[in-house]
Chain A
Amino acid sequence: MTILKLIKIEWFKTFSKTRTYISFAAIFVVLALTFIGIIYDSGDFIEKTPTFNFLNSNFIIKGNIVNGYFISQLIMYFLMVHIPFLIALVAGDIVAGESNAGTFRIMLIRPPSRFQILISKAIVSLLYSMLLIAFMGILSICFGVLIFGVGDLLVVSKGFLIISRHDVFFRFLLAYPLAMISMMVVASLAFLFSVLVENAIGPIVGTMAVVVISVIITETPITLFQKIRPFLFTTYSKVWEFSFLQPIPVNSIITSVLYLFVFMFIFFAIAFIIFMRKDILS
C-alpha cells in the first residue's frame, strides 16, 4: 500500500464529511458579507479611519483606494484568527475523530503501518489547509476585482506605500503561498492536539487558545512579551505581509519561512512520536 493510495483514501474520507465543507461555506459567507457591507457603506468605513483622514488632509488622492486589491489585502487579516479556526475544524478532527469513533480498531489492524497511516493524514491536513487558503484567495481577488475594480494598492506599514496596479497581482501570487505556509503550521498544531486526545473538540479549542494567546503576545507592545515572541509561530505567521513591501525583504521572508517550517516539523515530530507508541484502547 503506497502512501499515495493512503492519501487518496484519507482525502476521500475527509471530503465525505459535511464538516469539511463548513470551512469553505464559512469563507464564502464572510467574503460575501464583507463585500456587501462595503458596497452598502460606499467605502465610508475607510474615510472614517484616522489614517485616511491624515492622508486626505495632507495629500490629493486621485483614483479609487477602495478597490478589489485593497479589499483582498484587508481580507488576508482574517488569517490571524478566523481562518485558523476553520483549519483546526478539519486538522483537529483527522486523528481525534477516528479515536473517538473507534475506527482505528479496524484501520490499524490492516497491513499499512501506523507511520504510513499517520503521514497520509498529516499530508491531507496540509493539503486541505492549502486548498482552503487558495479558495479564499481566488474568491476574494476575483470577486473583489469584479465588484470593486482594479487600482493601485495603498499599504500602510511604517508609512504609506503605493503599489502600482500592474504589480499588485504578482504580490498576491507571493503572499498567498506564504499565507499557506503559515496556515500549515496551524494545521500541524491542530494535528498534534488531535493525536493527544480522543475527541475533536479538544484540538479545536486547544489550537485556538494557542493561536489567540500567541497573537496577543505577538501584537502587544510589552517588554516581557518581546522576549517570548521569538518562540511563538505567530511571530512569523504574518510573513505574507512582506509581499506588500517595497523592496520585498527576501531575507526576512526566507528567515520567517524557515522558522515556520521548524515549528511545523516540531509539531509533527511530537505527534508522530506519541502516536507510534500509543496503545489503542478505545
Chain B
Amino acid sequence: MNSDTDNTILNTYNVTKRFGRYFAVDDLNLSVDRGDIFGFLGPNGAGKSTTIRMMLDLVRPTHGTIKIFGQLLRVHRRQILNRVGALIEKPRFYEYLSARKNLTILAKLANIDPAMEVDRTLDIVGLLDRADQKVKAFSDGMKQRLGIAQALLGEPKFIILDEPTTGLDPKGMIDIRNLISELSTQNLTIFLSSHLLHEVEQICNKMAIINNGKLIRQGEVDNLIANCLHLKVDNIEKTAEILKNIDWIQRFENEKSEFRVYMSKNRSADLNRILVESGVGVFSLHQQLLLEDYFLSVIETSELVHDDIFIK
C-alpha cells in the first residue's frame, strides 16, 4: 500500500509503459519517503531505466500517474524538476565544450546562477582542476563524475541516479558510495538504480526489485534480506502446518525438504525451538544475509508483491 503523505517524495500509481505489445513497465507502484536511499534493482531489461525516464518525463507512461513532492508530474513538471537532480545511465555531454561550459549551460537551463554553483559541484566530484578541459578528452570515469556533478547542480532535494558508478575504478566507486551516503545525511532523498547489489546493500535503507516490468519486492533492506531463513527438515507436512499457524511468519515456500521462510527479524531461534518442540527434526537452519542470493531467488520465483506482506 502506498503512502501519499508529506513525508513521501515519490509515488507511482499503477504506472505502465507499453511499447506495442511489449510491457516495459507493468502496473508499478513505488513509494519513496523523505531521507530514503532507495535502491532500485532488477536484471537487464527489467524496466528500471524506463521507470526512471518516466519519473523524469523523458518517457510518457501509457497508464498511471507519478507524484513527486506530492505533486503530479505531468501538471507541475517545472516546479518538480527544479528540485530534482538526475543521472541517467552513461552521461552524455557536449563534447566540443569544456566541463565548465557544459555545467554552465545546464545551470542556466535550471535558472541557477552558474558563478559559484558550477565550481562547487565540480569540486565535490574532484574535477575542478579539469574544469576547462573539453569533455571529449575525458575518460569514461571522468564523464561519470561530471554526470554526478550535473545531478548536484542547484542542491536538489531528490536525486535520481541510474548506475552512478559505471565506468569508475574501485576507488572511484568507493568515493561515489561515500558521497551518496554523505548526501543522505543532508536531508536528501536518493533513488539509486544499480546492478551492483553489494553497493545497494551497503548504502540503501529501502529497495524495490522489478522483473519483466513488474514489481517483485519492495521494503526496507534489512527486513527483506535478513528475514529469509533457509530450513531443512525431516517432516515437510508437519513443518508446513506449523509454519502456517505462526503469525510472525509472512510466508514460506518449499522445495522437497528445504523451506524458505520469510519472517520478522531475529526470530530464527524461536522458530527452531518451536519446530524442535513439535517433534520436527531440523537438519539445517541458516539466515540468508546476502542481497545477491536474495535477489537471485526472488528473480527466479518472480512472485508478485502482496500489499499485506511487506510494506513498512
Number of interface residues, chain A, beta carbon within 8 A: 26
| Bound form: Cα–Cα A108–B89 in Å | 15
Are B108 and A13 neighbours in the complex by a CB distance under 8 Å?
A: no
Are A111 and B96 neighbours in the complex by a CB distance under 8 Å?
A: no
Encode contact with A along B91-115: 1 for CB under 8 Å, 0 otherwise: 1111111000100011011110000
| Bound form: Cα–Cα A110–B93 in Å | 14
| Bound form: Cα–Cα A1–B97 in Å | 22
| Bound form: Cα–Cα A109–B59 in Å | 11
Interchain CB contact (< 8 A) of B56 among A5, A103, A109, A277: A109
Are A103 and B93 neighbours in the complex by a CB distance under 8 Å?
A: yes
Encode contact with A along B40-73: 1 for CB under 8 Å, 0 otherwise: 0000000000000100111110000000000000
Interchain CB contact (< 8 A) of A1 among B57, B93, B111: B111
A102 with B108: in contact, given A111-B82, A279-B58, A279-B60 (CB under 8 Å)? no
Are A9 and B109 neighbours in the complex by a CB distance under 8 Å?
A: yes
- Interface membership of A16, Cβ < 8 A: yes
Q: For chains A and B in complex, what number of residue pairs have CB atoms within 8 angstroms? A: 78
Q: How far is the CB of A193 from chain B (nearest CB, A)?
A: 22
Closest to A279 in B: B59
Are B109 and A111 neighbours in the complex by a CB distance under 8 Å?
A: yes
Q: How large is the interface on B (under 10, 10 to 19, 20 to 34, 35 or more residues)?
A: 20 to 34
Are B94 and A9 neighbours in the complex by a CB distance under 8 Å?
A: no
- Interface membership of B84, Cβ < 8 A: yes
Q: How far is the CB of B61 from chain A (nearest CB, A)?
A: 10
- Interface membership of B31, Cβ < 8 A: no
Are A103 and B94 neighbours in the complex by a CB distance under 8 Å?
A: yes
Are A109 and B58 neighbours in the complex by a CB distance under 8 Å?
A: yes
Q: How far is the CB of A118 from chain B (nearest CB, A)?
A: 14
Closest to B89 in A: A105
Residues of B within 8 A of A60 (CB): none
Are A109 and B57 neighbours in the complex by a CB distance under 8 Å?
A: yes
A110 with B106: in contact, given A1-B111, A105-B58, A279-B58 (CB under 8 Å)? yes
| Bound form: Cα–Cα A1–B107 in Å | 11
Are B111 and A111 neighbours in the complex by a CB distance under 8 Å?
A: yes
Interface residues of A in 109-131 (CB under 8 A from B): 109-113
Interface residues of A in 90-115 (CB under 8 A from B): 101-113
- Interface membership of A281, Cβ < 8 A: yes
- Interface membership of B125, Cβ < 8 A: no
Q: How far is the CB of B151 from chain A (nearest CB, A)?
A: 9
Are A13 and B105 neighbours in the complex by a CB distance under 8 Å?
A: yes
- Interface membership of A280, Cβ < 8 A: yes
Q: How far is the CB of B33 from chain A (nearest CB, A)?
A: 22
Are A280 and B58 neighbours in the complex by a CB distance under 8 Å?
A: yes
Interchain CB contact (< 8 A) of B86 among A9, A18, A109: A109
- Interface membership of B77, Cβ < 8 A: yes
Are A16 and B108 neighbours in the complex by a CB distance under 8 Å?
A: no
Q: How far is the CB of B201 from chain A (nearest CB, A)?
A: 28
Are A281 and B59 neighbours in the complex by a CB distance under 8 Å?
A: yes
Are A111 and B94 neighbours in the complex by a CB distance under 8 Å?
A: no
Most buried by B among A5, A16, A111: A111
Residues of B within 8 A of A106 (CB): 88, 91-93, 106, 147, 150
A1 with B53: in contact, given A106-B150, A113-B78, A281-B59 (CB under 8 Å)? no
A108 with B94: in contact, given A9-B105, A113-B78 (CB under 8 Å)? no
Q: How far is the CB of B24 from chain A (nearest CB, A)?
A: 10
- Interface membership of B81, Cβ < 8 A: yes
- Interface membership of A158, Cβ < 8 A: no
A103 with B92: in contact, given A111-B109, A280-B53 (CB under 8 Å)? yes
A109 with B91: in contact, given A9-B105, A280-B58, A281-B59 (CB under 8 Å)? no
Residues of B within 8 A of A9 (CB): 105, 108-109
| Bound form: Cα–Cα A226–B63 in Å | 49
- Interface membership of A62, Cβ < 8 A: no
A277 with B60: in contact, given A105-B88, A111-B81, A111-B82 (CB under 8 Å)? yes
Residues of A within 8 A of B111 (CB): 1, 111
Interchain CB contact (< 8 A) of A16 among B53, B97, B110: B97
Residues of A within 8 A of B88 (CB): 105-106, 109
- Interface membership of A48, Cβ < 8 A: no
| Bound form: Cα–Cα A17–B91 in Å | 20
B residues bordering A, Cβ < 8 Å? 53, 56-60, 77-78, 81-82, 84, 86, 88-97, 101, 105-106, 108-111, 147, 150
Q: Knowing that A6-B109, A12-B105, A109-B86 touch, tell me 6 more A-B residue pairs with CB under 8 angstroms.
A: A5-B108, A16-B101, A105-B92, A109-B84, A111-B109, A113-B78
A-B interface, 5 closest residue pairs, ranked by CB to CB distance from nearest: A102-B92, A110-B109, A280-B58, A279-B59, A111-B78
5 A-B contacts (beta carbon < 8 Å): A101-B94, A111-B82, A112-B109, A280-B59, A281-B59
